[in-house]
Structure 1
């Protein structure tokens, strides 16, 4: 007993010492961060933009990078990146941009925004060199804007056209004896198709085909302009599978040459007038963000509120749009007299219809006090569009996925699964016939089914009414372009669902014009998290990161879809019909 106590007390003492030491270490690191000097850009700088990094609307916190001189490793938010590129255009210290375009972790509209920023950078007679060992179509659709684009002699360029594939679970559910009880409004609202079909419906195939063709057409048009080729020729390359090797990519004009990494860097040295043995002054976007003042300053304020992720009831999590949290953010901007206009940036495929209504209400109140402009990112569909529909003006990129005006819900009947597969049965008491209506342990009654369908129809009518009122359209017209159907941004402009093609810069400029101000700065929300919050958040995210690494991107995507399905049960969902993954 005595030896046990000695060991226990020694271990406890060691734990206390370690905890205290770790605490003071973190405090010291945080203090050194706060007091650290600005990094310098230096001369003959080359800004590095790596498309393998995901440039989100809200930057992902990286406390480890923050501690370990991490400005090198920080990935800026999308709008920060775009402003950095614009700043670099007029920065005499920055001579060019090195674009890593092997793959692209970003969506279509994000890629389009980066591509436009790079084109603008080139207009100052500065160069953009793009390189990838193997260049995917996602990387190429941004990289082709470069002054020169190269690939590895043993690599190549992927040029085969676009494809999308959907996962259907109906057969699996039948094997498990699970019956999905589905209620929806809108023939194109195909979010529930994976549970009720074994393949795409004709309506879904129609909208998906048009969506793919629209995105592909944009790729062909931009590539044709950049590479001095015609779209028919580029389309033939894909149809006949002519780009099979790196040599083919040069032969058919998709890249400027075949070079190894060292040869590309030798060219950068030549362009900057550096010697053979000189080190290239590469500066990451994260370091450049710390080194320069790239944000606009002024007396008045315009609020920019970033809304990214699923729209959910309550406060929400880090990468979601919680109705309570965002209602508070909009209200804060609305009641701040120094804020003259609000720009609401949306990158969301939707979610809870009720949560969307809550935020829509607060944006509508704000619109009565000051201009409210909405900017769409990669996706602003279903609930994402619900949030936007009453704004003074809506901006989208050509390739933004939007629309999907429709509603659905899903309640699984798992009685057969529990009883026949697991041998589990249920029993209980209730005080009224429908007290247990939302249980998954038995099928819905006919009256309960009618109630749910009526609820979905009513929510859809409200959704259409919000759009009709906000866009000054008839409900009949909204229904004709609604029905859950998705559109790309350029088509949405033609249909009257979006006002203009443009990014966040154009939306902010519009807000300033409507507020009649010229001297302004941006007040961006949500606020950046504190150091301790980042540490705790990093701990929460670690299991997800490990799971993602173990399952791979495709497996993790399926896991996320299954996880989302849990939140669909019994609640009206204004959600995009599918998660767009294009190969």
Structure 2
């Protein structure tokens, strides 16, 4: 019997090993098959792209059609590269991630349509557009493009179920605004509100170590207070008031409303609504915010009457924004005229590499600036900055490249987007000239450091840290569960103070202003574009086109091409860039995550994800940040 048991065990081992080997071979075969499939798809996409000369397929624009301005997604300065394969997977799993829409694409389409004989008018359907409050200047730029479009005497009609405050700024430019009878226009102004967690951290016995310089540097206030400081309220209200004033004046002018109408509408909404018997839509119509109330079928019928029906008669004759952009393409440089390079730093400034549209990677932006530096045909650079700042180290890496450009005799003109604060101002300061919009949020010249430790929380559950080290700084090894050594805290505070002094020197040198003057308007205070001009932080007010013209003038150019410096991914790279992650998704390993997006807790998960991404962006090697968190209005 023993020998039989032993023989059975050996045989069982052999059979088990055989099954394991077969299983491994089948898995390997599946992986190889997947890779081959992706390779084939990549080659097909690459070949088709090459055959098309890298240009979009032909899209016909019907004669007499309306351009349907129906952007779907979040309004941004620079959109993330779209991966069609990953997009298809997201749709397959039901993951509803919002797209990104570049303001420049919308403006380009409007400008093309103005002189396009095929386009008979403009229809604004803005229900799918989301614009954060901090994107105010982008909204004003789009509104200005529509105003210019109207000089062609082509009609502009806005349609929608309702209009958010941001959507309405654009819609107000329409000749006619139609809204559903159950819709509303709610204007509530601008605000800056934070969740303050000092007491919560105390209850959890979490220790926050805060290091900052600047009376108005409020980024870390939520960790050290239970309310907003008077200094932060003063600074925030100052720039928010200008944002609101510009918004109100813009809408009142577009709709021919008496001065103060928008403020009254926001302040006196309850009694005004009572007069309209609680009907938001009728209130908006009576107040002059919309022209007519129509159901969806009625709106469609009206557009058919205005522009004619399409081929199948189901809709009005139109071409949607995305298709029109493909139809008109992008202007290609002729290769003969000198170039003005356009380099964009959009998003939080982080150390290292980062894809466009995700963050402004210090090394990534520096590489693009180096490319402009080395290109002999580039005679000037327009540096578009739309960033709340971030890593002080990454900001300095970018600034060094800008100084190299100037040393090479190539003018550098900064064009500020909606937000160019803190580190965003750091990288703007060395420019020969700085342009901003009246509603650009800028300044916030200050530095902070933040570190949380959990020694008291750990002690509550009976966890303690002890040990020995060879220097006074050795306890840093245990910091986190252990306390922050006092000597380390002294070092960090000194580093923050030196970082602030360096920030002052950077701005002083770049702007040719005294250090003490910069300190007086610094201290972490946020300024709005028009105020910043008076303070000499900004030279002129104007859009990106004005900055390009200024760069051309400085370079002595009359004829030139604007060439955008970006890291373009090939179709092959787009597909294989995240092959491992996509393979995991195909295997169903991310299915739970996909389902989470569809659950009732979707918003909560999104908030948690946002907080994780926020923490992940704090990657400065020295732990020093020139970032304006209060500027990033939602």
- The normalised TM-score by structure 2 is 0.84
Instruction: Identify which of 471, 477, 501 aligns with 2:511.
Output: 471
Instruction: Identify which of 38, 45, 48 aligns with 2:58.
Output: 38
Structure 2, unaligned runs of 5 or more:
1-14, 89-97, 274-278
Q: Is the 8 A contact 1:178 1:413 kept in 2?
A: yes
Q: 2:488 & 2:531 partners in 1: Cα distance?
A: 39
Instruction: Identify which of 611, 616, 624 aligns with 1:561.
Output: 611
Q: Is 1:581 aligned to residue 633 of structure 2?
A: yes
Q: 1:341 & 1:549 partners in 2: Cα distance?
A: 48
Q: 2:515 & 2:140 partners in 1: Cα distance?
A: 32
Q: Which moved more, 1:187-196 or 1:360-369?
A: 360-369
Corresponding position of 1:345: 384
Q: Which moved more, 1:429-438 or 1:224-233?
A: 429-438
Q: Is the 8 A contact 2:58 2:326 kept in 1?
A: yes
CA RMSD of aligned residues (A): 2.9
Q: Residue deviations 1:292-347, cap 9 Å, x none? A: 24426351111111111111222235512222222221112112110011011111
Instruction: Identify which of 398, 403, 416 aligns with 1:376.
Output: 416
Q: CA deviation at 1:249?
A: 0.5
Q: CA deviation at 1:443?
A: 3.0
Corresponding position of 1:450: 490
Q: 1:117 & 1:549 partners in 2: Cα distance?
A: 37
Q: Which moved more, 1:96-105 or 1:130-139?
A: 96-105
Q: Is the 8 A contact 1:309 1:348 kept in 2?
A: yes
Q: 1:200 & 1:415 partners in 2: Cα distance?
A: 27
Q: 1:291 & 1:31 partners in 2: Cα distance?
A: 21
Higher Rg:
2
Q: CA deviation at 1:274?
A: 5.2
Q: 1:463 & 1:239 partners in 2: Cα distance?
A: 41
Q: Is the 8 A contact 2:71 2:101 kept in 1?
A: no
Q: Is the 8 A contact 2:71 2:321 kept in 1?
A: no
Instruction: Identify which of 222, 241, 245 aligns with 1:217.
Output: 245
Q: Which moved more, 1:515-524 or 1:561-570?
A: 561-570
Q: Is 1:198 aligned to residue 237 of structure 2?
A: no
- CA 1:533–1:172 in 2, change beyond 3 Å: closer, same or farther? farther
Q: 2:347 & 2:577 partners in 1: Cα distance?
A: 17
Q: Is 1:535 aligned to residue 575 of structure 2?
A: yes
Q: Residue deviations 1:467-522, cap 9 Å, x none? A: 12222222222112111111121221222111222221111111111111122222
Q: 2:177 & 2:63 partners in 1: Cα distance?
A: 24
Q: Is the 8 A contact 1:373 1:394 kept in 2?
A: yes
Q: Which moved more, 1:457-466 or 1:441-450?
A: 441-450
Corresponding position of 2:8: none
1:142-291 equivalent positions in 2, closer than 5 A: 142-241=170-269, 242=272, 245-272=280-307, 277=313, 279-291=315-327
Corresponding position of 2:545: 505
Q: 1:255 & 1:466 partners in 2: Cα distance?
A: 49
Name the count of aligned residue pairs. 577
- Give the secondary-structure state (helix, strand or coil) at the position aligned to 2:465: coil
Q: Which moved more, 1:435-444 or 1:561-570?
A: 561-570
Q: Is the 8 A contact 1:185 1:406 kept in 2?
A: yes
Q: Is the 8 A contact 1:372 1:393 kept in 2?
A: yes
Corresponding position of 1:47: 67
Q: Is the 8 A contact 2:447 2:625 kept in 1?
A: yes
Structure 1, unaligned runs of 5 or more:
none
Q: Which moved more, 1:559-568 or 1:108-117?
A: 559-568
